[in-house]
Amino acid sequence: MLLLENVNAFYGKSQVLHDITFNVGDSEIVTILGRNGAGKTTTLKSIMNLVRPRSGKILFNGKDLTSMAPHEIPRLGVAYVSQGKGIFPNLTVQENLLVGALATDHSRDSIESALHLFPVLGEKLRQIAGTLSGGEQQMLAIGRALAIQPKLLIMDEPTEGLMPLLVQSVLDVTKHINSSGVSVLIVEQKLEVAMKLATRVLIMENGSIKLVGEPKYMTENRDLVLKHLGIKM
C-alpha cells in the first residue's frame, strides 16, 4: 500500500532523513518510535509532501506522492492527523467534520462514521471546536480524518497529553478502524502504546531507521531497544 524507498529530506542545508525505507501493508498497523528529534514527524510530513523529499520514492498504491500537491494526497485515501491535533479552533465541531468530507468530495453522510465512533461529538456539533477539552479535540481530529474515508490513516502522537482513560479510548478506536480494513501508520513516544497496537514497530534514531520488528521481537531484543530509545522496557 505505502512504500518509502531511500527517502532523504532536508530543512535548508540540514539533512533530517537519511535513506528512509519501509512499507505499510494492507490492514497493517505500523508504529514509529524514537526520541525527540529522531525524524519521526518529518517522515510523516514527507509522506504528505508537506516536506518535499530531496531524493527517494514515496508510493501509495503505485502512485508517486512526491509529485503531488499536499491537498491532492487525501483524495487518494490518505488521512493525516498532525501532532497537536490541528483542528480549526474557530469553526464548529460539525464544520470541522465537513472539512474532511468536502475536501475529498465525499457526501456529508461520511461524517456519520466519525460520530458513531465518537458519540460525544454528536452532542456538540454546534460547539466551537477551540472550546472542547483536549481529549475531545483529539477525537475531533481523528473524526475529521475518518470523514475522508481513508485507506491509510496517519497519526502523529495521538495519545500525547491524554489521561490514561482517553489513551485507552484512542487505542480501542484505532483497533476498530484497523479492523474495518484501514491501514494505520502512527508516530508514538509511549513504548507501551506501540506494543499494544502495532503489527510492526520501527525505531528511528538521528534520521535513520535502526530497528524493525514485531512487538515480540522488540521484547526479545530489549537491549537494542534500550540503546536506541534510552528507556527501559
Please say if the pLDDT value at position 107 is more than 70: no
Q: What is the DSSP string of 90-125?
A: TSBHHHHHHHHHHHTT--GGGGHHHHHH-HHHHTTT
- The predicted-structure confidence for 154-207, as pLDDT tens digits, reads as follows 999 998 888 888 888 889 999 999 999 999 999 988 888 888 899 999 999 999
Provide the pairing of β-strand 29-34 with 183-188: parallel
pLDDT band at 68; cut points 50, 70, 90: very high
pTM of the model: 0.91
Please say if the pLDDT value at position 219 is more than 50: yes
Mean pLDDT of the 89-94 span: 94
Provide the pairing of β-strand 208-213 with 200-205: antiparallel
Nearest Cα residue to 110 out of 126, 99, 121:
99
Please say if the pLDDT value at position 233 is more than 60: no
Bridge partners of 156, per DSSP, are: 187
- Sheet containing 78-81: order of strands: 78-81, 152-156, 183-188, 29-34, 200-205, 208-213
Average pLDDT, rounded, for the chain: 90
Nearest Cα residue to 94 out of 71, 117, 115:
115
Provide the pairing of β-strand 55-60 with 152-156: unpaired
Question: What is the distance between the alpha carbons of residues 136 and 92, in angstroms, rounded to a whole number?
Answer: 13
pLDDT of the residue at 16: 97
**Which cell is 97 given?**
467534520
Residues 6+ apart with CB under 8 A from 109: none
pLDDT of the residue at 162: 86
Rg (CA), the chain: 17
What percentage of the chain carries pLDDT values higher than 90? 66
What residue ranges define each of the domains in the chain, with the CATH number in brackets?
1-77+152-233 (3.40.50.300), 86-149 (no CATH)
**Which cell is 92 given?**
464548529
- The predicted-structure confidence for 18-30, as pLDDT tens digits, reads as follows 999 999 999 999 9
